[in-house]
Amino acid sequence: MSDFKHNSEENYIEIIQRLVKCVVVLILIIIALVVLNIYDITSPRKPKPVPKEKVEKDETASESKKIADVWIAPDSSEISKEKNADQISYGRELIANTAHYLGPKGNVLQMSNGMNCQNCHLKAGTVPFGNNYSAVASTYPKFRERSGGMENIYKRVNDCFERSLNGKSLDTTGKEMQAIVAYIKWLGKDVPKGEKPKGAGLTELAFMDNAADPEKGKIVYVEKCITCHMANGEGKLNGSTYQYPPLWGPNSYNKGAGLYRLSRFAGYVKSNMPQNVTYDAPQLSDEEAWNVAAFVNSQARPEKDLSKDWPKIASKPVDHPFGPYADKFTEQQHKYGPFGPIAEAKKKK
Ligand code: HEC
Ligand code: HEC
């Protein structure tokens, strides 16, 4: 009897000991999971997309230094490795020498103003902050407020034909459009879906406290731009193609083009003009860039019917220069600034 009692007591203790072991193991597993999770969040294996504000701040802060991990375009000599190498090369050629093929005297079609895509998308869309195409393949199709709908790359390319090249749209099934899109996709092939690399598109300049001043901009123009873009803004032709493209007048971009927005023009010029300037060694101050943008965009240029743009007027960017607006600011202020108060009012809504 006493033996049995002794035995059951032993069993009892053993069970408790096992239970304690189980609990300890469970606690260890939980601790391990928590630690792993924290490690995962902080680990650099999953780079979090950099918030837009942060990128903008870094850009304006860097007056003279290269940005780490800025996008570098794939080497064009690699095109030959692709199955559709001929198509990609033709697309690149069309972007570099658009006028030769599709300008007023184009040998394929006559459907645009004589400018080349790469007058604005420098070196066939490969230059950091030179309005490059790094984020096109990765972010399209996407919703755009300007049209109020989903846009694919064809639509976006035709937007530039109709506005920046003040021309007609290209047949999306045709050889030329297919080639342009093949090239743009090839250029962005190494950018993960949904991501926008550093240096994509244009520099975002901080807003000035005051309005941009066309009179002050004229002084900048005369000092730093006139030798190439000429006193009448119409640039300089060399045969059938521009050595220096026009900045205003009948052969320039129309009023529906991206550069007609002051922030786009100022950002482009800050990092790329006068010719051969790069983002890491700009020549113009922010103020000069805003003012010269105001001067150039107050000159005459082709019109464009924009009645179907921005179907949701509250989504217009602060520097969209045409009303109606969802706020109380004037067309004048939406064109020249100051943009800060408009952006503030927009945030509060
Ligand atoms: C007069 C200047 C100019 C010319 C010429 C021009 N573009 Fe553009 N393009 C722009 C601007 C400005 C933007 C908008 C950039 C921004 O808002 O960041 C743009 C945007 C684009 C985009 C979208 C880029 C993106 O990341 O969302 C594509 C694609 C494009 N252009 C293709 C072309 C093609 C192809 C041509 C030639 C047929 C062309 N562009 C000619 C000024 C120009
Ligand atoms: C040394 C000559 C030169 C000077 C000076 C110069 N540019 Fe340019 N600019 C060019 C060339 C060349 C291009 C086309 C780039 C290309 O095709 O690679 C261009 C393109 C442009 C474009 C885009 C294409 C267009 O015609 O709309 C703008 C905007 C522009 N320049 C503005 C300016 C401003 C503003 C200044 C003065 C701050 C300036 N440039 C000074 C040579 C010059």
Give residue 51's pLDDT.
46
What would the pLDDT profile of 146-197 be if each residue is shown by its tens digit? 999 999 999 999 999 999 999 999 999 999 999 999 999 999 999 999 999 9
Say whether both 162 and 246 belong to one domain: no
150 belongs to a structural domain: yes
pLDDT range class, residue 34, cuts 50, 70, 90: low
13 versus 87: the higher-pLDDT residue is: 87
Q: Does position 140 have pLDDT exceeding 50, yes or no? A: yes
DSSP string covering 117-150:
HHHHSHHHHTSTTTTB-TTHHHH-SEEETTTTEE
- Structural domain contains residue 78: yes
Together in a domain, 172 and 259 = no
Domain count, the chain: 2
Whether 31 is covered by a domain: the verdict is no
Both tokens of 249, joined, read: 């007048």
In a domain? residue 11: no
Same domain, 144 and 219: no
- My answer on whether 224 and 310 are in the same domain is yes
Nearest ligand, CA 160: 1
Buried b (16+ CB within 10 A) or exposed e, 210-220: ebbbbebbbeb
| CA proximity to 203, closest of 317, 127, 138 | 127
First vs last C-alpha separation in the chain = 84
241 and 178 fall within a common domain: no
Looking at the fold, whether 176 and 230 belong to one and the same domain comes out as no
Q: Where are the alpha helices (DSSP H) in 128-234?
A: 136-139, 153-162, 175-187, 214-224, 226-229
The verdict on residue 47 lying in a domain is no
Cα torsion angle, 248, 251, 252, 255, sign: positive
Confidence bin at 119 (pLDDT 50/70/90): very high
Half-sphere exposure of 197 (CA within 13 A, CB side): 27
**pLDDT (tens digit, 9 = 90+) per residue, 97-112?**
999 999 999 999 999 9
Q: Indicate the average pLDDT of the chain.
A: 90
245 in the same domain as 164 = no
pTM, rounded to two decimals: 0.85
- The residue among 133, 168, 187 that closes a domain is 187
Judge whether 22 lies within some domain. no
% of the chain exceeding 90 in pLDDT:
79
For residue 209 the two structure tokens come to 């406290």
- Please name the residue whose Cα sits nearest to atom 6 of ligand 2: 274
Residue with tokens 């792993």: 36
Q: Is the pLDDT of residue 297 over 80?
A: yes
Average pLDDT for 249-259: 98
Query: In which band, very low, low, confident or very high, does the pLDDT at 40 lie, cut at 50, 70 and 90?
Result: very low
**Same domain, yes or no, for 167 and 257?**
no
Say whether both 232 and 304 belong to one domain.
yes
CATH number at residue 297: 1.10.760.10
Tokens of 179: 């080639």
Pair 177, 101 in one domain: yes
Q: Is residue 147 part of a domain?
A: yes
Ligand nearest to the CA of 273: 2
Residue 222's domain comprises: 214-348
Domain annotation covers residue 97: yes
Mean pLDDT confidence for 283-310: 97
CA-nearest of 316, 318, 303, 227 to 266 is 318
Ligand closest to 284 (CA) is 2
Residues lining ligand 2, CB < 6 A? 116, 118-120, 122, 220, 224-225, 227-229, 244-247, 253, 259, 268-269, 273-275, 284, 292
CA quadruple 185, 190, 194, 200: dihedral, nearest 10: -80
Token code pair at residue 271: 């990092």
Q: Same domain, yes or no, for 175 and 250?
A: no
How far away, in angstroms, is 275 Cα from ligand 2 center? Answer: 6
Same domain, 156 and 239: no
Q: With a 6 A CB cut-off, is 146 part of the ligand 1 pocket? A: no
Q: Is the pLDDT of residue 64 over 80?
A: no
Q: How far away, in angstroms, is 160 Cα from ligand 1 center? A: 5
